[in-house]
Amino acid sequence: MTEAVAFDVVSEGLAEVHRLLLPVREGEVASYIPPLALADPDDFGVALVSMDGHRYQAGSSGTLFTIQSVSKPFVHALALAELGMDELSRWVGNEPSGDAFNAISLEDGTGRPANAMINAGAIATTNLVPAASSAERFDRVLDALSAFAGRQLDVDEEVYRAESATGDRNRALAYLMHAAGSLRTDPVEAAEVYFRQCAVRVDTVDLAVMAATLANAGVNPVTGEAVVPEAVAVEVLSVMATCGMYDAAGDWLVRVGLPAKSGVSGGLAAASPARFGIACWSPPLDRTGSTVRGVVALRELSKRFGLHLLHRPARTADTVTEHGTAARAASGRERTAEERALLSRGGDRIALVAAQGELDFTATERVLRALAETVPDEPGWVVVDLHRAIAYPTPATMLGVVMRRVAAAGHRIALVGDVGEDWDCGATRHTDREEALAWAEDALLRELARAR
């Protein structure tokens, strides 16, 4: 009997991390909000959601807990989508405070909280969400969190009540901001909306979907819904990268290198842009208020899979697959002996550059150098074969600028492949390279015939 091949090494990786870290006995379950103290220290969920919405999971990934501070980046996204960064940053800064999550980190003079990831900044951010009443504001917050998670979320009323009953420090932060003019809504109500936001129930998979939505330019990869614009997702990920892990944010960026957010119930969500969202949940916390197992799990996975944001990205294949002139690389057309002789003498006036893959900044820079080497000095023909390349807006513009210059210098351009936009360089379009080269050769032969 042959055994089925096990393809899913992603789930195996998560299960292995889960197994390795379950015996860890460090950390304390948060107790300042009484019901949180009842959490089982051995609950440990891990989940990863890919950019096509595939969900991988291990451990207690389907057990519900309150989202707590992991809600902050997602509500920040909602407020940013409504107000824009310029307006929002008048009220809440973008600077890491280096302080604990519940610190009184308010700017001298203005009372502006340092960032939206600490409690003060989150209370202010939540209350910038436009609404006619606190109830409506919370509904908008819950709708946004649900859209990020891809399902309707609800509130753990018991945790909410306990949080409100023990929430004097957060209320004090709201009062201080109100007195300084940095919070415009009623401070008591402002704190209540924030408490309800923290008491929204999620499981580990929900958190991974939420993070994956940020990683996927604001589009939920499971539901396909565009939850926030791409620019907002980038802004939120930036703030998570510098402020998401409170007073441990610097060490986190060094060791893990992914934008992330943790919360006191033991949740941790991290995003690997264009790759996946990942989440862990394990109640025992370190002294900065982040899940002990979650932090080690992410360190481990980041090392194993090379996930650090500032890691040199791997180049998978050569960008320029061919560059030279028709003198050596002629089209396959049948030619007379005389034509062949003419082409081998005059063929240097026909340049060919073929490229493949994504034309990002680096790839485009290589294409430009290949063009610089092959495009003839006197006006000739330039065949650019991009039928296996993908051109994106910004680098396409770099290439577009150069193609217009090439045209202005008197060269005729033959473009192979659908580059998705017209560079306004008068190029002829061709379906394959042979045909484009033959077109250039025919034109060269006609010109040489006329010159005789």
Can you give the binding site for ligand GLN, defined by CB under 6 A? Answer: 68-69, 101-102, 119, 163, 170, 198, 263-264, 289
Number of H helices, E strands in the chain: 16, 12
What span, in angstroms and rounded, lies between the C-alpha atoms of 295 and 317?
34
264 given a catalytic annotation: yes
What span, in angstroms and rounded, lies between the C-alpha atoms of 247 and 26?
19
DSSP 3-state assignment of 267? strand
Q: How many residues does the chain have?
A: 452
Catalytic residue, candidates 29, 46, 56, 72: 72
DSSP 3-state assignment of 223? coil
- What is the pairing mode between strands 350-359 and 267-272? unpaired
Helix (H) / strand (E) element for 401: namely helix 393-408
What span, in angstroms and rounded, lies between the C-alpha atoms of 190 and 171?
8
Catalytic residue, candidates 61, 155, 194, 202: 194
Query: What residue is closest to ligand GLN based on CB?
Result: 69
Minimum Å gap between C-beta 298 and ligand GLN is: 17
Q: At what angle do helices 119-126 and 168-180 cross, to 10 degrees?
A: 70
142-85-50 Cα angle (round to 5): 55
Minimum Å gap between C-beta 38 and ligand GLN is: 16
69 given a catalytic annotation: yes
Q: Which C-beta is closer to ligand GLN: that of 140 or that of 196? A: 196
Q: Which C-beta is closer to ligand GLN: that of 195 or that of 439? A: 195
Minimum Å gap between C-beta 116 and ligand GLN is: 13
Q: Which C-beta is closer to ligand GLN: that of 119 or that of 325? A: 119
Q: Which C-beta is closer to ligand GLN: that of 263 or that of 277? A: 263
Q: Which C-beta is closer to ligand GLN: that of 196 or that of 411? A: 196
Those residues with Cβ within 8 angstroms of residue 226's Cβ, 6 or more apart along the chain or in another chain: 218, 219, 220
DSSP 3-state assignment of 328? coil
Displacement of CA 173 from its chain's centroid (Å)? 32
Catalytic residue, candidates 246, 261, 382, 419: 246
Minimum Å gap between C-beta 166 and ligand GLN is: 9
209 given a catalytic annotation: no
Catalytic residue, candidates 264, 292, 367, 383: 264
SS (H, E, C) 26-85: CCECCCCCHHHHHCCCCCCEEEEEECCCCEEEEECCCCCEECHHHHHHHHHHHHHHHHCH
Minimum Å gap between C-beta 32 and ligand GLN is: 7
Q: Which C-beta is closer to ligand GLN: that of 102 or that of 272? A: 102
Report the candidate in 250, 179, 204, 174 with the shortest Cα–Cα distance to residue 44: 204
Minimum Å gap between C-beta 143 and ligand GLN is: 20
Q: Which C-beta is closer to ligand GLN: that of 259 or that of 289? A: 289
Catalytic residue, candidates 50, 61, 69, 265: 69
392 given a catalytic annotation: no
Q: Which C-beta is closer to ligand GLN: that of 221 or that of 266? A: 266
Those residues with Cβ within 8 angstroms of residue 290's Cβ, 6 or more apart along the chain or in another chain: 245, 246, 248, 262, 268
Q: State how far the alpha carbon of 414 is from the alpha carbons of 330, 432, 436, in Å.
A: 15, 10, 6
Q: Which C-beta is closer to ligand GLN: that of 99 or that of 358? A: 99
Those residues with Cβ within 8 angstroms of residue 169's Cβ, 6 or more apart along the chain or in another chain: 102, 119
Q: Given strand 45-50, what is the order of strands in its sheet?
A: 55-59, 45-50, 276-281, 267-272, 260-262
Minimum Å gap between C-beta 79 and ligand GLN is: 17
Catalytic machinery residues: 69, 72, 194, 246, 264
